[in-house]
Amino acid sequence: MPELPEVETTRRGVAPYLQDRRVEALLVRQPRLRWPVPQQLAALLEGQQVREVARRGKYLLIGFDAGTLLVHLGMSGSLRLVPREQPPGKHDHVDLVLDSGLALRLTDPRRFGAVLWQPLETVHELLASLGPEPLSADFDAACLQRACKGRRSPIKQVIMDSKVVVGVGNIYANEALFAAGIHPKRAAGRISAERLTVLVGEIKAVLARAIEQGGTTLRDFVGGDGKPGYFAQQLNVYGRAGKACVRCGAPLREIRLGQRSTVFCPNCQK
């Protein structure tokens, strides 16, 4: 699943081609995505000018005077800029056709993505309960300490809770916990303030490095400019079960937490 760094990479890739362009049409070939594409969306967007291209968690937000288009890539989705006349493939479900002659094309083989609408001066229900952005000043040690206080849940599940902090998906939760030396199953409420402070710093550092290098290429993801991410070359634990720890050489172990693959070093993470 594309995670926050991949979505941010996509945003940066497509933003220069969307900013200030006018929408000539919205072509919906398959409206049955994770949620149905609103029927009135094509008529609403025609003639609208793109005012901004932002991101909230894993949602790409394309802002117009009348509201905001929400795009989620789901499990296997990608966005590419293509010539408007380029014939669509089997899984090319939605085109945002621009006055530049390009189209922003959503490709989504599994159809778990979404194209939704947020009217002006409203907050979509999918965004309303989201926690702070992990790279913002709002997500700090005090924020995580409040979220962990008294909780018996494994720390990995806490930092992957979008109500606590958005966008810390499975890959980066594994990597940040390894970097902080914290066992993923440790009860959140039993971790000291000092160790949580370290964890916040590592979450920010891991995500920042991933964004800088263009996200992580795993199966289906490529950036909006067609270039793959490169962070996979630097993964220390994720996808490396049974291999030697880069710090101590011990075999990395894999367990399931919340139905997610969780890889850790039994020596380095306590």
**Could you tell me which residues are annotated as the binding site for DNA?**
91, 110, 151
- Collapsing DSSP to helix, strand or coil, 97 comes out as strand
212 is catalytic: no
Residue of 2, 5, 154, 184 with catalytic role: 2
Q: What 3-state class would DSSP assign to 257?
A: strand
In 3D space, the residue among 180, 173, 178 whose CA is nearest the CA of residue 157 turns out to be: 173
CB within 8 Å of 5: residues ≥ 6 apart: 172, 207, 210, 211, 215, 216, 229, 231
Q: What is the 8-class DSSP label of residue 86? A: S
Residue 89 to residues 30, 78, 86, 206: CA-CA distances in angstroms? Answer: 12, 13, 9, 35
3, 6, 8, 202: the catalytic one is 3
**Would residue 3 show up in a list of annotated catalytic residues for this protein?**
yes
Which residues define the annotated binding site? 91, 110, 151
- Catalytic residue chosen out of the listed positions 11, 21, 58, 156: 58
Three-state DSSP class for residue 74: coil
Is residue 247 among the annotated active site residues?
Answer: no
204 is catalytic: no
- Tokens 């995580």 — which residue? 144
Task: Please identify which of the residues 22, 204, 209, 260 carries the catalytic annotation.
Answer: 260
**Active-site residue list:** 2-3, 58, 260
